[in-house]
């Protein structure tokens, strides 16, 4: 099969069809709101990719979505349903932000220390759920989801009652020192930035991206490449991928599921904490603001991105950029046409719902056809017990030997 045929087959697959159907349904909602759908989508595309500032805003918004999506994908790929990245990222941002703001010292020492603190706290919060599952049998799906709430309210309490700066109009900490902040790729007040603005223009895409996106973009690229390498070239990547497909097979291969869950949750939570911190100390942000990370809803958008990309790092980067473009474009559409920016959330949810329906429908039809004919469906796999429980080997029925058969015949 050549490249055009593969591309055509991909276009007919679940993901492109789900996106197109979601955009069509979104157009119906626009028509019901009295807005021309064509004008709405043109404004959306122009707002996200039509101008230099739009491209910079799309990239800047995609960074935490893709980063947290990678953290979720590491867990989901191993069969560990980590729904607690909101709490892990929030506490990581809180711990790293406190180090960056309140610990004195040179920036060359404070910035790495803040990154280590964010990773450590995010990993520790993720390990709580792993320990609860390994020791008490509490499902990670439930524990990670519920652990978001104490993380959220503790962060809010600490910023409001212990870190609040009285001189600020916001419920927020005092400002970061400029040398500790993650600056733009090209600082806006630098001579090189003036050269770009004078030579290319202030709204040129190159100028806008270099002066409007901070260094977390480079960190994200390193993480994506590192995760691809880990999945393909390391023992952990091999074991976690097999565990997500068939946990019993990995167990019988000699891999202990408990330590694998611990490593997975530590890695996933640590990455979530890292990108939570980058959102907090990356320019143009300068403070720890109460409820800021929760209001962005990046953790749950990253979950949708991970599901859409099927846990693949490159796919997560593309899907995260697509969702970020929808969010930025919907804001522009709201400014130009007066339509609510919530249309972005509607389109994102429709993409995932339609994707799930598009994938599940053929399996449902085959299963129903197999049930009608009395034959088991090829898509059905036996549901094995949990890999975290111990099982005794099934007794093997004794078979008569040849000597016993001859003796019985006599």
Domain boundary assignment for the chain: 67-296
| Contacting residues for 280 by C-beta, under 8 A, at least 6 apart | 93, 96, 97, 288, 292, 293
User: Over 80: is that where the pLDDT of 11 sits?
Assistant: no
Q: Are 143 and 128 in contact (CB under 8 A)?
A: yes
- Comparing 49-53, 282-286, 302-306, 379-383, the range with the smallest average pLDDT is 379-383
Give mean pLDDT, residues 145-157: 96
Q: What is the pLDDT of residue 403?
A: 45
- 34 in the Ramachandran plot: left (φ > 0), alpha (ψ -120 to 50) or beta? left
User: Over 90: is that where the pLDDT of 295 sits?
Assistant: no
Q: What is the pLDDT of residue 91?
A: 97
Nearest in space to 172 (alpha carbons), one of 161, 183, 187 = 161
When pLDDT is cut at 50, 70 and 90, the band that residue 324 belongs to is very high
Give mean pLDDT, residues 273-287: 93
When pLDDT is cut at 50, 70 and 90, the band that residue 370 belongs to is low
Q: What is the pLDDT of residue 358?
A: 65
Q: What is the pLDDT of residue 281?
A: 93
Q: Quick one: CA dihedral 264, 269, 274, 275, positive or negative?
A: positive
Q: For tokens 């039509």, name the residue.
A: 50
Give mean pLDDT, residues 45-55: 94
Q: What is the pLDDT of residue 1?
A: 65
Q: For tokens 């969702």, name the residue.
A: 323
What span, in angstroms and rounded, lies between the C-alpha atoms of 153 and 160? 10
When pLDDT is cut at 50, 70 and 90, the band that residue 169 belongs to is confident
What span, in angstroms and rounded, lies between the C-alpha atoms of 223 and 71? 10
Q: Quick one: CA dihedral 77, 83, 87, 93, positive or negative?
A: positive
> Mean pLDDT in the chain?
87
pTM: 0.86
């Amino acid at each position: 099969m050549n490249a055009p045929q593969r591309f055509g087959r991909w276009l007919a697959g679940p993901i492109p069809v789900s996106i197109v159907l979601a955009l069509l349904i979104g157009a119906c909602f626009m028509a019901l709101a009295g807005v021309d759908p064509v004008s709405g989508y043109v404004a959306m595309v122009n707002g996200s990719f039509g101008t230099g500032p739009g491209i910079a805003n799309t990239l800047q918004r995609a960074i935490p979505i893709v980063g947290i999506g990678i953290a979720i994908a590491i867990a989901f790929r191993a069969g560990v349903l980590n729904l607690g990245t909101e709490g892990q990222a929030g506490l990581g941002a809180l711990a790293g932000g406190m180090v960056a703001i309140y610990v004195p010292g040179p920036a060359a020492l404070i910035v790495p220390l803040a990154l280590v603190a964010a990773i450590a706290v995010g990993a520790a919060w993720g390990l709580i759920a792993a320990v609860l599952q390994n020791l008490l049998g509490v499902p990670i799906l439930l524990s990670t989801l519920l652990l978001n709430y104490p993380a959220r309210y503790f962060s809010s309490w600490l910023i409001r009652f212990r870190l609040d700066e009285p001189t600020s109009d916001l419920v927020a900490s005092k400002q970061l020192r400029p040398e500790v902040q993650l600056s733009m790729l090209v600082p806006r007040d630098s001579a090189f930035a003036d050269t770009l603005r004078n030579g290319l223009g202030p709204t040129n895409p190159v100028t806008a991206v270099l002066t409007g996106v901070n260094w977390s973009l480079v960190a994200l690229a390193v993480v994506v490449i590192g995760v691809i390498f880990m999945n393909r070239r390391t023992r952990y990547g091999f074991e976690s991928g097999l565990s997500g497909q068939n946990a019993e097979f990995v167990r019988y291969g000699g891999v202990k599921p408990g330590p694998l869950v611990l490593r997975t949750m530590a890695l996933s939570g640590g990455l979530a904490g890292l990108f939570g911190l980058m959102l907090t100390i990356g320019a143009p942000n300068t403070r720890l603001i109460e409820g800021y990370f929760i209001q962005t809803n990046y953790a749950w958008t990253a979950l949708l991105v991970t599901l859409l990309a099927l846990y693949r790092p490159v796919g997560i980067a593309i899907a995260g950029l697509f969702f970020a473009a929808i969010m930025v474009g919907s804001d522009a559409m709201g400014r130009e046409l007066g339509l609510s920016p919530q249309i972005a959330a509607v389109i994102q949810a429709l993409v995932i719902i339609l994707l799930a329906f598009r994938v599940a429908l053929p399996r449902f039809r085959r299963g129903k056809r197999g049930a009608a004919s009395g034959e088991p469906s090829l898509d059905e796999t036996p549901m094995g017990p949990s890999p975290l429980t111990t099982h005794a080997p099934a007794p093997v029925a004794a078979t008569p030997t040849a000597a016993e058969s001859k003796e019985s015949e006599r």
